[in-house]
Chains A and B, each alone.
Chain A
Amino acid sequence: MSAVLAAAAAEVSTGEAIAFWVLGPVALAGALGMIFARNAVHSALWLVLTMLSLGVMYMVQQAPFLGFVQIIVYTGAVMMLFLFVLMLVGRDSSDSVVEVLRGQRLWATVLGIGIAGLIVGAVSRSLTDVPVENLQQQNAGGANVNNLGKSIFTEYLFPFELTSALLITAAMGAMVLGYLNRHEKGMKRTQKELVEARFRGEYERPSPLPGPGVFATANSVATPALLPDGSVAPESLSRLIDSTASETFSDEIKSVAGTEPGPDAHALTPSTKDTSTTDTKNTEDTEETR
């Protein structure tokens, strides 16, 4: 195997070797950073670093088209979708660390190391007896992209055309699952109908929900609006955008909305709130009698 590596090393030009030794550690660092970063967004950005280095490596190894596709499709499109989802879910939200299956992590580690060993073993063994092919034929005439295009329209014409069926199905599937004719009767109301319905009292409140307001410390949607007494306005917390905020303030929300759990029907002592009201009533009564 060392002989093969030595032979391969002899063919590698100095520039390629430098590029490899610069990009290789960077890609590895990105991969490790992705695993060990505590913040999901940082994790995604570390992955971008790995993907970019891989893209450049492809270009160094005579595959410019693959390199650009790697950067445009993976780093560009896929990673941005990733970040979108992360931002939608909320970058602070984290998975529960409670193990549902007992011993799950131990087994995952053991099996993961096992399969990594298997793959490394298989790949290193296959390095010795697989004929190495360079990309001379694909890059003939210095035109990697031209030759790719050529093989799409000759050798792989049929699979290429068949992907159109896939795209049509996907487009139609999105329409079937997503399209709703909102102009039909009984569907979504127009703005005017909505305003009238609001003032007729069909909704809880006629006005929009409060924003952060003048007492707020930031104008993010996730920041709760503060009422003049400094407590949190419960309507201003969105469950959709940031689940953690509404959970953190759940006690305050309950106290402001007056939905704290009342006393148990069988409880012997009345709740504190009830006692206070009856007390005030009593005092009022006594005042009146006086």
Chain B
Amino acid sequence: MLATVLTAQPVPPADKLSAPAIDYGAIMPVLIVLGAACVGVLVEAFLPKHQRWPVQVVLSLATLAGAGIAMAVYLGDESTPKNGVITLAGTLAVDRPALFLWGTLLVLTLGALLLIADRSVEPGGAFVAEAAIRPGTIQDRAQVAGTGMQTEVFPLTLFALGGMMVFTSANDLLTMFIALEVLSLPLYLMCGLARRRRLLSQEAAVKYFLLGAFASAFFLYGLALLYGYAGSVKLADISNAAAGTDRSDALLFGGLGLLVVGLLFKASVGPFHTWTPDVYQGAPTPITAFMAACTKVAAFGGMLRVLQVGFESTSWEWRGVLWGVAIVSMVIGAVLGLTQTDVKRMIAYSSIAHAGFLLIGSIALTDQGLSGTLFYLLTYGFTTLAAFGVISLVRNADGEATHLSQWAGLAKRSPVTAAVFTFILLALAGIPLTSGFVGKFVIFSAALQDGMAPLVVIALIASAVAAFFYLRVIVLMYFSEPAADGPSVTVPGAFTTASITLGVIATLVLGVLPAFALDWAGSGTFAFQ
């Protein structure tokens, strides 16, 4: 009996199973980033504590440089196909938008990494020395005075970056889901590692983790329904199934709705924004900068691909809903931003308003909409990075002084910092000669061309309201008397200076000479296969 069962089992011949073809040149940046993250883990395991920080900083910066060079080599190669390649059995699509987003992510992570690595603004860095010590204990009070830091943040940042890069180029929903988890898990963790105000930081981490897990469940449920609808998780197959047949719309739109909820949560678009202010406020400021800049790029990159590749053929059905979501997000961001008294929370609400603008670009399903959204992501990332860099400089004895009243009269204490922050706020408001203006201009013109004039009018009103609270901070900094016991502005070390300079110069250059970046953003569309 057993013998017959065994012989009945067909043994597949060895040559039957062939590994999928891999275009190593195309995916080299991802491989470098993820590989270096693993090396970073080994560094943590084998090097003594005092050597880890320099080694990790050098390794991480070299990784970003290496990934950038690998991407430049791939782009410069004559044989690189113009409309992108689909590799690894159709799970990764390395096309022009994906490469643009990879470049954006690499440069923004460079800026965030410089903030993370800085040890001059806060002696020992913004991260706790031993996260396992409970806040408020004797050991905790002892470690505040020390200068160590949990250097695991460097490999964690690289893992998050790797997840983001895969997320923007995932060609099927399963890869996208795993990439979503790969990018989220390190962020949840790093949110809880602040050196100061540790309970607030840990509360932010738990909130982000629980709500993020909830949103992932939504994404996964949507994925399952779409698989039931199309019989495949590939975006192109879902698109074909939706275009060619008269199957049940309940599965398609139920799936799409749940999937998009998961994506909108990550992009902190209102009404799925509730985690944003608390997490931005509680997380260590370098991590907030990384999250605000890079997660937004990754989330909107993924959303653009899902909407443009997977659901373009059914856009009549879902576009109205996303109109509503964009309006809600802009209104929440602009109106609640007015009432904030904390700088970090104010920037968080500003990011919700910006997410609404970005959503307008994402639902304009044209080439202009795609390139405009990509450009806006680039400009917004640099500006936010610099904003959080400046916020980390204004400090008093308890750490960062983020309450707005403490920023009164900052221009009299430190004219340079106030001038830089003013420029950043003007860019966030979208004043001409800054990148924010060009970004809004390209998105709104793409939306107008695609017949969304009412939405553009609402967006203009929202940006006018939002400009009010940016200007309020500027007025506060220049026309108020500084408080006697107000905060002092730390003179930043080389790392933070480099990061803020990178953000400010990019904001200026993209505002004055945006043509090269616009050309690159518009150099191709998503691969469909």
Could you tell me if A172 and B20 are in contact, using CB atoms closer than 8 angstroms?
no
The stretch that binds A, out of B85-93, B484-492, B518-526, is B85-93
Interface size of B in residues (CB-CB distance below 8 Å): 54
Could you tell me if A169 and B150 are in contact, using CB atoms closer than 8 angstroms?
no
- B246 at interface, CB cutoff 8 A: yes
CB-CB < 8 A to A173: which residues of B? 156, 185-186, 188-189
Which of A154, A159, A179 contacts B178, CB < 8 Å?
A159
Could you tell me if B17 and A141 are in contact, using CB atoms closer than 8 angstroms?
no
CB-CB < 8 A to B192: which residues of A? 177
- Given A158-B88, A162-B182, A165-B182: A177 and B159 interface contact (C-beta under 8 Å): no
Which of A133, A157, A179 contacts B132, CB < 8 Å?
A179
Cα separation A165 to B31 with both chains bound (whole Å): 11
- B9 at interface, CB cutoff 8 A: yes
Could you tell me if A177 and B178 are in contact, using CB atoms closer than 8 angstroms?
no
- B123 at interface, CB cutoff 8 A: no
Could you tell me if B175 and A122 are in contact, using CB atoms closer than 8 angstroms?
no
- B14 at interface, CB cutoff 8 A: no
Could you tell me if B156 and A163 are in contact, using CB atoms closer than 8 angstroms?
no
- B254 at interface, CB cutoff 8 A: yes
Could you tell me if A187 and B34 are in contact, using CB atoms closer than 8 angstroms?
no
- Given A162-B178, A166-B185, A177-B189: A143 and B163 interface contact (C-beta under 8 Å): no
CB-CB < 8 A to B10: which residues of A? 141-143
Task: Identify whether the interface residues of A are mostly helix, strand, loop, or mixed.
Answer: helix
Could you tell me if A168 and B41 are in contact, using CB atoms closer than 8 angstroms?
yes
Report B161-180 CB contacts with A as 1/0, cut-off 8 Å.
01100100000001100110
Which of B152, B156, B229 contacts A130, CB < 8 Å?
B229
Could you tell me if B89 and A157 are in contact, using CB atoms closer than 8 angstroms?
yes
Tell which of A142, A156, A159, A178 has the most Cβ of chain B within 10 Å: A159
- A186 at interface, CB cutoff 8 A: yes
- B320 at interface, CB cutoff 8 A: no
CB-CB < 8 A to A172: which residues of B? 41, 44, 152, 155-156
CB-CB < 8 A to A122: which residues of B? 250-251, 254
Q: How far is the CB of B96 from chain A (nearest CB, A)?
A: 20
- B338 at interface, CB cutoff 8 A: no
Report A175-215 CB contacts with B as 1/0, cut-off 8 Å.
11111110000110000000000000000000000000000
- Given A170-B185, A172-B155, A180-B132: A129 and B162 interface contact (C-beta under 8 Å): no
CB-CB < 8 A to B246: which residues of A? 129
Cα separation A159 to B180 with both chains bound (whole Å): 11
CB-CB < 8 A to B163: which residues of A? 165
- B6 at interface, CB cutoff 8 A: no
Which of A130, A131, A169 contacts B159, CB < 8 Å?
A169
Tell which of A150, A153, A157, A172 has the most Cβ of chain B within 10 Å: A172
Report A93-124 CB contacts with B as 1/0, cut-off 8 Å.
00000000000000000000000000000110
CB-CB < 8 A to A179: which residues of B? 132
- A146 at interface, CB cutoff 8 A: yes
CB-CB < 8 A to A157: which residues of B? 19-20, 88-89, 91
Which of A128, A154, A180 contacts B20, CB < 8 Å?
A154
Nearest B residue (CB) for A175: B152
Tell which of A129, A131, A146, A162 has the most Cβ of chain B within 10 Å: A162
Cα separation A146 to B163 with both chains bound (whole Å): 29
CB-CB < 8 A to A128: which residues of B? 248
- B139 at interface, CB cutoff 8 A: yes
Nearest B residue (CB) for A165: B182
Could you tell me if A176 and B174 are in contact, using CB atoms closer than 8 angstroms?
no
- A264 at interface, CB cutoff 8 A: no
CB-CB < 8 A to B254: which residues of A? 122
- A126 at interface, CB cutoff 8 A: yes
- B76 at interface, CB cutoff 8 A: no
- A287 at interface, CB cutoff 8 A: no
Cα separation A163 to B91 with both chains bound (whole Å): 14
Could you tell me if B166 and A162 are in contact, using CB atoms closer than 8 angstroms?
yes
Cα separation A150 to B10 with both chains bound (whole Å): 14
Tell which of B142, B178, B188 has the most Cβ of chain A within 10 Å: B178
Could you tell me if A165 and B159 are in contact, using CB atoms closer than 8 angstroms?
yes
Could you tell me if A186 and B150 are in contact, using CB atoms closer than 8 angstroms?
no
- A273 at interface, CB cutoff 8 A: no
- A125 at interface, CB cutoff 8 A: yes
- B12 at interface, CB cutoff 8 A: yes
- Given A142-B9, A154-B89, A180-B133: A165 and B34 interface contact (C-beta under 8 Å): yes
Which of A163, A165, A176 contacts B189, CB < 8 Å?
A176
Interface residues of A in 127-159 (CB under 8 A from B): 128-131, 133, 141-143, 146, 150, 153-159
- B247 at interface, CB cutoff 8 A: yes
Q: How far is the CB of B237 from chain A (nearest CB, A)?
A: 12
Cα separation A196 to B41 with both chains bound (whole Å): 40
CB-CB < 8 A to B8: which residues of A? 142
- B181 at interface, CB cutoff 8 A: yes
Report B134-146 CB contacts with A as 1/0, cut-off 8 Å.
0000110010000
Nearest B residue (CB) for A168: B41
Cα separation A160 to B78 with both chains bound (whole Å): 32
Could you tell me if A158 and B91 are in contact, using CB atoms closer than 8 angstroms?
yes
- B324 at interface, CB cutoff 8 A: no
Could you tell me if A131 and B247 are in contact, using CB atoms closer than 8 angstroms?
yes
Cα separation A122 to B182 with both chains bound (whole Å): 32
CB-CB < 8 A to B174: which residues of A? 156, 159
Q: How far is the CB of B517 from chain A (nearest CB, A)?
A: 30
Q: How far is the CB of A74 from chain B (nearest CB, A)?
A: 15
Could you tell me if B247 and A129 are in contact, using CB atoms closer than 8 angstroms?
yes
Could you tell me if A155 and B89 are in contact, using CB atoms closer than 8 angstroms?
yes
Could you tell me if B130 and A155 are in contact, using CB atoms closer than 8 angstroms?
no
Q: How far is the CB of A162 from chain B (nearest CB, A)?
A: 5
CB-CB < 8 A to B12: which residues of A? 141, 146, 150
Could you tell me if A169 and B189 are in contact, using CB atoms closer than 8 angstroms?
yes
Q: How far is the CB of B86 from chain A (nearest CB, A)?
A: 12
Nearest A residue (CB) for B133: A180
Interface residues of B in 212-269 (CB under 8 A from A): 228-229, 231, 246-248, 250-251, 254
A-B contact pairs, 27 of them (CB 8 A): A122-B250, A125-B250, A126-B248, A129-B248, A142-B9, A146-B12, A150-B12, A154-B20, A155-B89, A157-B89, A157-B91, A158-B88, A158-B91, A159-B175, A162-B175, A163-B178, A165-B34, A165-B37, A168-B37, A169-B186, A169-B189, A172-B41, A172-B155, A176-B132, A177-B131, A177-B132, A180-B133
Interface pairs A-B: 8 shortest CB-CB:
A126-B248, A122-B250, A180-B132, A158-B88, A158-B91, A141-B10, A173-B189, A126-B250
Q: Beyond the given A155-B90, A158-B88, A177-B192, could you list 19 further A-B residue pairs with CB under 8 A, ordered by the A residue number?
A: A125-B248, A130-B251, A153-B17, A154-B17, A154-B19, A154-B89, A156-B174, A157-B88, A158-B91, A163-B178, A165-B34, A165-B163, A166-B182, A169-B186, A169-B189, A173-B156, A173-B188, A176-B193, A181-B130
